[in-house]
Structure 1
């Protein structure tokens, strides 16, 4: 499996390199022209180019991450500290949408994870929850400790996932968002599964909301 991922990763890296350089040039020139453009129709066309270049840049970065062989820097991490950081970031991401975002965690535990990669996962889950939750809704990031195991839940009161889409949400490139790459959940699931003893579950009911659950083994500390 690792050899296959390494081969795929090398191929993706080479394709990424060939596409990224001209893409940077196109985006750079388009941004320069946009700053100087005065006609509204010209600005509208250039804005589309800039937005699409940005989307492709995110797609290339996601592909590189998806097919990169697992490289984890495991260390003991305070879960409460990490989740407090995630909730603080979530408030900035919500942009005054009117969604109540809160942390419900009491007992702090230490988990053995790659902090930056797990932060990437949690940020992605919280962003998804924000996008799915209407004004007046609620997002709760909570923990549940059971002996040697601890679970983190990201719960929202959003629109939920239709039954017919549930089997496809972890497939690469599948998205229901206009500007989405369809790689966020796929990459998040892979990062979690790369961590020894970690698990990931997504429960959703259309019209009622979604609960994303990450299971961890407790570390020492």
Structure 2
């Protein structure tokens, strides 16, 4: 060991104080650990969606963004699942780990209390075996990595909360003004409606403006609901085919200058008693996203069917699909999946509305082939609540 352990403590503390982003901090810490413990390879993996994903490494060539280990598989996977460290020196049971043969291997969990955040892996100590002192040093380094990860997560959550607070303040301050402006527009539209002998085309335009004014008002209320983390339900009784006709009209306007085909099919024309405006916004948001994903050519299909006491809605497009690593984050606030436009709130609000109706939403996708969202909600909100309370 070239450095005194006290020097290592000071160096790691300096990194902790000068770096905040884990993509910079973790590589810096493991490089210090690699040098001090004199190992050939070292890696740090964090738990994401029931698997380990590599965030930092030193000593071997690998595209760490592609390295995933399921919890419970391999030495690292077992340590992540059990929270119990493992030290293996050269013996007949030593095996390939992370794509290479290791003659000695140590895996130490990163913990916050009893929760395992990830693992620190060290392999092939140069000219020696791992001993109890090495384990204690590795535990300390793992604890510092865990502290860095937890600090980053806390900061990320604070930023998200701050974003929500700002949105709430903005909505509270402008919602009244928007409502007044929309009321003025609505009043002028009603005056136009009083005119006699309007031609059918003009009447269609006016009807569309009425619809859009109502939708803008609803979107403002949705943002308010989101900032308060509360969704209000205003029940209406309607047939699915009626709502689908409205969605189809808007979708056709969006795609009129493209080669995109939007197909709306009512497999079961169910009479629903839910919040019609909010359900419309859920489905129209998904259809709009599907159209955006296609660019200028492809197809979008919206269907409905009866599923027991639920209505099943599916929105499927033939677009480029969604990367696997993005699927679990789609419904998180402010996650935009690399989109050039949008706030990252659309799908988060969709999920809130669906869950407020005691429903569920899921997504299935294959890159280069398709994406399909499935919304499952009770077709009678009150009856379902009464039955399952």
- Would you call these one fold, judging by a TM-score over 0.5? yes
Coordinate RMSD, CA, aligned: 2.8
Residue in structure 2 matched with residue 14 of structure 1 by the alignment? 169
Deviations 1:83-123 (A, max 9, x none): 12112111112242210101122431112211111111111
From 169, 182, 192, give the equivalent of 2:330.
169
2:368 equivalent among 186, 199, 207: 207
CA distance in 2, matches of 1:186, 1:10: 16
Query: For the residues of structure 2 that align with 1:192 and 1:132, how far apart are their CA atoms?
Result: 22
In structure 1, the residue matched to 2:343 is 181
Note the 1:101-140 alignment, pairs <5 A.
101-140=262-301
Equivalent residues of 1:62, 1:183 under 8 A apart: no
Distance 1:9 1:128, change over 3 A: closer
Q: Which of 64, 85, 98 is the matching residue for 2:246?
A: 85
Match of 1:190 in 2: 352
Question: What are the within-5 Å matches in structure 2 for residues 37-52 of structure 1?
Answer: none
Aligned residue pairs total 175
Shift of 1:136: 3.4
How much has 1:66 moved relative to structure 2? Answer: 1.4
- The equivalent position to 1:156 in structure 2, one of 311, 317, 321, is 317
Change (3 A) 1:127 1:11: closer
CA distance in 2, matches of 1:106, 1:167: 29
**Bigger shift: 181-190 or 140-149?**
140-149
Select the structure with the greater relative contact order (CA < 8 A; seq sep ≥ 6): 1
CA distance in 2, matches of 1:124, 1:79: 16
**SS of the residue 2:297 aligns to:** coil
Report the TM-score, using the length of structure 1 for normalisation.
Answer: 0.70
CA distance in 1, matches of 2:322, 2:329: 11
* Aligned counterpart in structure 2 of residue 64 of structure 1, from 220, 224, 239: 224
Alignment partners' CA distance in 2, 1:112 and 1:62: 19
Q: Distance in 2 between matches of 1:9 and 1:168?
A: 17
Mapped to 1, the partners of 2:223 and 2:306 lie a distance apart of 34
Q: Is the 8 A contact 1:87 1:141 kept in 2?
A: no
User: Please, what TM-score do these two structures have when normalized by structure 2?
Assistant: 0.41
Instruction: Note closer, same or farther for the CA distance 1:135–1:64 as it changes in structure 2 (3 Å cut).
Output: same
1:77: how far off? 2.2
1:41 maps to what in 2? Answer: none
Structure 2: how far apart are the matches of 1:143 and 1:67?
30
Q: Are the counterparts in 2 of residues 9 and 64 from structure 1 also a CA contact under 8 Å?
A: no
What secondary structure does 2:349 align onto? Answer: helix
Cα distance in 2, alignment partners of residues 100 and 144 from structure 1:
21
Query: Which moved further from structure 2: 184-193 or 90-99?
Result: 90-99
Contact kept, 8 Å, 2:241 with 2:269, in 1: the verdict is yes
Distance 2:378 2:259 in 1: 35
